């Protein structure tokens, strides 16, 4: 999860998030290069006496600064499209979880386990135990296995919400009357936090999401840990 004074992204817990971090660093290096070149050109413009009249007609230079931005855009677009298609792939998920957004809590349904349904509310400050996180911990966590593809089906019962877990690289809108879906495969066990990232009313800030990822052998004993 994020911590105070953090500058970079959260540590990746899924292959998709790993790809997003690599693409972020790739794009950032290109931005740094462009900024350096622009600042260098401005510095030369301010400090150099422009007495050479031959530079008034430089078609070679105009060709370079026309083609170079196109090449840079291609270098950004190709990995971006690759990740975009990766996030839309749904390859035979092992588990399906349905998430329903309400004002202002989440309802989860384990469709593969006889319709196990429970609500997940934020823990009020009076109920927090030592080590619990204010505004992030919930009374019922979503328990899921690691190293198994999971499909999340997300919708809403009232207004627009957004089911987002940054460390997994997930953000999917919950829209009334529409069923969106996303998939992920967690790579290591742990407890991971997210929040509703769509302004949905007065208590928008109090809709946390908590995923508890455990080994598959333990999960196969039954998802009763979520209750």
- pLDDT per position as a tens digit, 24-35: 999 999 999 999
Residues 220 and 148: their CA atoms lie apart, in Å, by 12
Asked if the model's pLDDT at residue 224 lies above 60, the reply is: no
Residues 166 and 79: their CA atoms lie apart, in Å, by 20
Asked if the model's pLDDT at residue 179 lies above 50, the reply is: yes
Check: CB of residue 180 under 8 Å from CB of residue 154: yes
Give the residue-averaged pLDDT of 213-227. 70
Q: Regarding the domain delimited by 15-88, which CATH topology (the fold level of the hierarchy) does it fall under?
A: Helix Hairpins (1.10.287)
For the ranges 37-41, 45-49, 134-138, which has the lowest average pLDDT?
Answer: 45-49
In eight-state DSSP terms, residue 225 is G
pLDDT given for residue 129 in this prediction: 85
Asked if the model's pLDDT at residue 63 lies above 70, the reply is: yes
**Which residue ranges make up each domain of the chain?**
15-88, 95-221
Asked if the model's pLDDT at residue 227 lies above 60, the reply is: no
pLDDT, one tens digit per residue, over 96-132 is 899 999 988 999 998 887 778 899 999 988 888 888 8
Report cis status (omega within 30 of 0) of the bond before 104: yes
pLDDT, one tens digit per residue, over 182-191 is 999 898 999 9
Residues 21 and 76: their CA atoms lie apart, in Å, by 14
pLDDT given for residue 8 in this prediction: 81
The second-level CATH assignment, the architecture, of 95-221 is Sandwich (2.60)
CA dihedral of residues 21, 24, 25, 28 (deg, nearest 10): -160
């Amino acid at each position: 999860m994020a911590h105070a004074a953090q500058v970079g992204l959260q540590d990746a817990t899924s292959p998709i998030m790993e790809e997003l971090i690599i693409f972020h660093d790739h794009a950032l290096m290109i931005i740094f290069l462009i900024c350096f070149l622009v600042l260098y050109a401005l510095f030369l413009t301010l400090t150099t006496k422009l007495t050479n009249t031959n530079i008034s007609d430089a078609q070679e230079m105009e060709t370079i600064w026309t083609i170079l931005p196109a090449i840079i855009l291609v270098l950004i677009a190709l990995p971006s499209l690759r990740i975009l298609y990766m996030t839309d792939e749904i390859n035979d998920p092992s588990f399906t979880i349905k998430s329903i957004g309400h004002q202002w809590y989440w309802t989860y349904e384990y469709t593969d386990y006889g319709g196990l349904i429970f609500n997940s509310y934020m823990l009020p400050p009076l109920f927090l135990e030592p080590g619990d996180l204010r505004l992030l911990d919930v009374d019922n966590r979503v328990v899921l296995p690691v190293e198994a593809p999971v499909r999340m089906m997300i919708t809403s019962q009232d207004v627009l919400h957004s089911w987002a877990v940054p460390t997994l690289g997930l953000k999917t809108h919950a829209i009334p009357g529409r069923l969106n879906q996303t998939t992920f495969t967690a790579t290591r066990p742990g407890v991971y936090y997210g929040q509703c990232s769509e302004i949905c009313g007065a208590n928008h800030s109090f809709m946390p999401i908590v995923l508890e990822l455990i080994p598959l052998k333990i999960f196969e004993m039954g998802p009763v840990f979520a209750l």
